Structure 1
Amino acid sequence: MQSLSGHLQSVTALRWSGEGLIYSGSQDRTIKVWRPSDGALCRTLQGHGHWVNSLALNTDYAIRTGASDPKKLMQTVPEHINNELERKAAAMERYTAAKEQAGGVERMVSGSDDFTLFLWTPESNKKPVCRMTGHQQLVNDVKFSPDTRTIASASFDKSIKLWNGINGKIFATLRGHVSGVYQIAWSADSRLLVSGSKDSTLKVWSVADRGLLIDLPGHADEVYTVDWSPDGHRVVSGGKDKVLKV
């Protein structure tokens, strides 16, 4: 077991990179890039003025689903992939395609208590691609869409914001929650977004229409976490009332 030391305060967010690196966000306001093979600290990314709460990669979905075809996610092994080498090749193809959407690099977005997001190319560069402003309170969660084109952010300002995944420019604000938004999750086809809020509700949003699609009440207290089923037909949520809703 390795111990990677370098942060000066609590570690609050982690991501494995498809390039074999680990990215860590901390209350010390920094993001660190680690090489787990030897425990080396490769670089430190600075820019946020307060705690780093959340990290997301444009390759997250490709890494998570591996060689699976989204249309066949309910199958244990896709029919067209029948051996380990083909599975690995297909997984690498999907990962490479995700990177090519962003010019051939892995991109990372970070969300902070300083109300901002930063877009990075952390594998090779200390400097951010851009600083993304618009939220009026701390940013709780950030997520790249599976197709890598859009970044969604959730904030205690009761809103969800949508940003261009390449240049970081904001293009929509989704409003409807009456209290802070804790977490968001994308559907596999990148068309829908679900959010969980302090107001005890979940909401499903249409990205194309940039508006509320379905309001899902049911929890008796704050909703802390949400996720989509792989087939995109259901969502699951959990929160302060100690209950999961499906």
Structure 2
Amino acid sequence: MDIYTKNSLYNLMDGERTAVQSPPHHLSIKTHQEMCDQQDLQFSPSRPSSPISPRMSMISPPSPESPWTLSPLQTQSPSLLYYCIASLHRNEGNIYSIAVSKGTVFTGSESNRIRAWRQHDYIERGYLKASCGEVRAILAYGNLLFTTHKDCKIRIWNFTVADNFKPKKISTLPRRRSLLFFNKRKPQKHKDCISCMAYYHAEGLLYTGSYDTTVKAWRVADQICVDTFVAHESNVNAIVVNQDDGCVFTCSTDGSVKIWRRVYRENSHTLTMTMKFQQSPVNALALSSSFNNCFLYSGSSDGTINFWEKEKMSSRFNHGGFLQGHRFAVLCLVAIEKLIFSGSEDTTIRVWRREEGSYFHECMAVLDGHRGPVRCLAACLEMEKVVMGFLVYSASLDQTFKAWRVKVLPDENLCGDYVERSDSKTRAMEYEMSPVLSPSWVEKKLQGNYFQ
């Protein structure tokens, strides 16, 4: 489903050509101090929280390279502070995937190299090189790294980070088999792009979803495919696993979200629930699970984020509502603690917080800095005394990788659910402060292959 018309895209292209361009750079890393010296506008808990302030209306739109970004949508809660701590660029095409483990951030792109960046200072530690590129999905667990490639295969790596970064490829799935065994059983290989992965820690099962509409379960211990099932009528775009009970959640371009459960003492899977509220493709999933509750979030091409809550007695998921704020498709989601991060085709990242014991969600900030659709996200917890902090990583079809530091101040009373503002001045201001879309992405959008 196209989000807007071709004419509007050409207008965006014209605006981009007349905009002031940033100087090209091969690789740039900015420290916190350098960023503070460049920007006078900083956040303060005492800052007025009015949705529209005279001072804000006079602020010109921040440049895409601005380290401190003022959210175009001001909420009533000043309890979240954020800034961009690094902006990295390699001439290796679009970045499709991000994973974090053992103090290392991995990025996969159109090239055959998976870059490894040291967390906190974002110096490149090295890279993993495969025979085939276009790394669409990355998953890290401990010292294991799983990557998917254009040849529709999965590669398993082991890495150490004690002194030097030492990666080693363990295996490729499906494994190559002898000619005798090959005649008895063909390798269980996907027939199209592997778009997503999830790992069930307790059983050592790796789930892969593909554009061939199927999901496969691989037992990592002996590196074999134990089950294959047709999950959807179209592309499988995202997959997550509930580590508490092993339930598998999938979403698709066919507009549905499905829940699968393993058959007891077997490797097969059965469909337990289908959730479909609109025809719009579902691009992303995130699961927020704790001792008290479990929420499932899905991001759609219509710009909305639907969420469901799990019933404690029946284990069914009831639709709780949707979050509205993004203007174009939601492409990626991450849930950690009570925060939900959503990346969109509108080039922004929104930070949502769920109020304890209710369905209320507040949009706390809009992270604005990319010049193309935000394709993938990753996040991890970073506690600092009484302040809860997060490190958030984003990659865009503008071919940049950014690291953000987000801090949530304590003892803040939420002021209710986020409601999209209908005031014309607020809406106009939000549109004016949006970054200009890169012309290369707009061309791909017009050709209809911006995700392929």
Q: Which has the larger radius of gyration?
A: 2
The CA distance in 1 between the partners of 2:227 and 2:401, in whole Å, is 41
The CA distance in 2 between the partners of 1:229 and 1:2, in whole Å, is 28
- Measured against aligned partners, the alpha-carbon deviations of 1:141-186 in whole angstroms (never above 9, x if no partner) come to 1111142601111111101111124413221200010001111111
The CA distance in 1 between the partners of 2:227 and 2:218, in whole Å, is 7
Q: 1:41 to 1:222 in 2, by over 3 A?
A: closer
Residue equivalent to 2:380: 229
4+ residue segments displaced more than 4 Å? none
Match of 2:219 among 35, 38, 48: 35
The CA distance in 2 between the partners of 1:243 and 1:26, in whole Å, is 25
The CA distance in 1 between the partners of 2:262 and 2:208, in whole Å, is 11
Deviates more, 1:50-59 or 1:220-229: 220-229
Match of 1:173 among 290, 305, 322: 322
Residue equivalent to 1:240: 397
Task: State the secondary structure of the residue aligned to 2:389.
Answer: coil
The CA distance in 2 between the partners of 1:229 and 1:24, in whole Å, is 23
Task: State the secondary structure of the residue aligned to 1:129.
Answer: strand
RMSD: 2.1
Map 1:48-197 → 2, pairs under 5 A: 48-59=232-243, 99=244, 105-122=245-262, 124=264, 125-147=268-290, 149-165=294-310, 166-187=315-336, 189=337, 191-197=338-344
Percent identity among equivalent residues?
Answer: 25
What residue ranges of structure 1 are gaps of 5+ in the alignment? 60-98, 100-104
Q: Give the count of matched residue pairs.
A: 200
Q: 1:233 to 1:115 in 2, by over 3 A?
A: same
Query: Is the 8 Å Cα contact of residues 214 and 229 (structure 2) preserved in structure 1?
Result: yes
Shift of 1:243: 4.5
Shift of 1:244: 1.2
What residue ranges of structure 2 are gaps of 5+ in the alignment? 1-170, 175-186, 383-387, 405-452
Task: State the secondary structure of the residue aligned to 1:233.
Answer: strand
Task: State the secondary structure of the residue aligned to 1:236.
Answer: strand
Match of 1:216 among 362, 367, 370: 367
Task: State the secondary structure of the residue aligned to 1:179.
Answer: coil
The CA distance in 2 between the partners of 1:220 and 1:21, in whole Å, is 37
Query: Is the 8 Å Cα contact of residues 196 and 238 (structure 2) preserved in structure 1?
Result: yes
Shift of 1:35: 2.2
Task: State the secondary structure of the residue aligned to 2:240.
Answer: strand
Deviates more, 1:148-157 or 1:37-46: 37-46
Shift of 1:51: 1.1
Shift of 1:132: 1.1
Higher relative contact order (CA 8 A, sep 6+): 2
Q: For 2:301, give the aligned amino acid.
A: F
Shift of 1:9: 2.5
The CA distance in 2 between the partners of 1:122 and 1:156, in whole Å, is 30
The CA distance in 2 between the partners of 1:228 and 1:126, in whole Å, is 30
The CA distance in 1 between the partners of 2:325 and 2:344, in whole Å, is 10
